Amino acid sequence: MADEVTGILRQWDRPRYLAMLFAPDGKRSALMTLHAFSAEVCRIPLVASDPQVGLIRLQWWRDTLETIGKGEAQVHPVAIALAEAISLHHLPVKPLLDLMDAHEHDLYADPIPDVVSLEEYLGTTSSVLIQLSALILDPASAPGVAETAGCAGVAYGLAQIVSDPKRHANLVPVGESLTSLTERAHKRLAEARAVQVPLHLLPAFLHVSLAELFLAKPGNTPSPWRMQWHLWRAARREAF
């Protein structure tokens, strides 16, 4: 079952998969599961034949989270693992529901209206994964990095848009350009790095170090080996 979950994350979100390889053994499975759930939601717009089909699939995941909350048995490998992670680490379900609500936007071609709305979207879909990861790693100290997680998640999300603007065309606000989004990403990254994250929470933030690679060559996604090398260096210097 764990191999299936890991395989889903590896296929649909290689950067976060590579980053989670640096997580401690006792936490890696739950972290992989959390991000595999996100990957499952993110890939819906890519495989749905039309928005209505995508809405049905999102509703399936909403219903699944509801049954997980009731303690009912699951069938989907990610749902089974997610139920275990939620129970074991006392993860709140509402942020996961909010994440799905935000991703409904991805089913349509309409651009996000402005950069403020974009940052709100990224906070709900990207920053939240960092904060929930921190809860898995250490629930006692996780609240102390909430603001840093917000900036880091926005920076990473902006960098992903810049790296693959064709896929994320609907996330480029009206009146914005890849240049302006790059500048904002660097600003948010600097704000996140201005605060030292406790070392035991670093695995929650490690993938954010890849933002530098994504921003270096707009429109070009780095190769897996280059991402892995960059992550290794970040882990060695104990900073994202």
Domains along the chain with CATH numbers: 2-237 (1.10.600.10)
- Whether 103 contacts 41, CB under 8 Å: yes
How many other CB atoms sit within 10 Å of the CB of residue 163?
A: 23
Alpha-helical regions (H) of the chain: 2-12, 14-20, 25-47, 51-69, 77-89, 94-103, 115-122, 128-137, 146-163, 178-193, 202-205, 211-216, 224-237
pLDDT in tens, the chain (240 residues): 578 999 999 999 999 999 999 999 999 999 999 999 999 999 999 998 899 999 999 999 999 999 998 888 788 999 999 999 999 999 999 999 999 999 999 999 889 999 999 999 999 999 999 999 999 999 999 999 999 999 999 999 999 999 999 889 999 999 999 999 999 999 999 999 999 999 999 999 999 999 999 999 888 889 999 999 999 999 999 999
* Dihedral in degrees, nearest 10, Cα atoms 230, 233, 237, 240: 20
- Whether 112 contacts 104, CB under 8 Å: no
Q: Tokens 């809860």 correspond to what residue?
A: 135
* pTM, to two decimals: 0.95
- Whether 192 contacts 119, CB under 8 Å: no
CA 149 to chain centre: 11
Nearest to 26 by CA among 138, 146, 132: 138
Structure tokens at 22: 């640096």
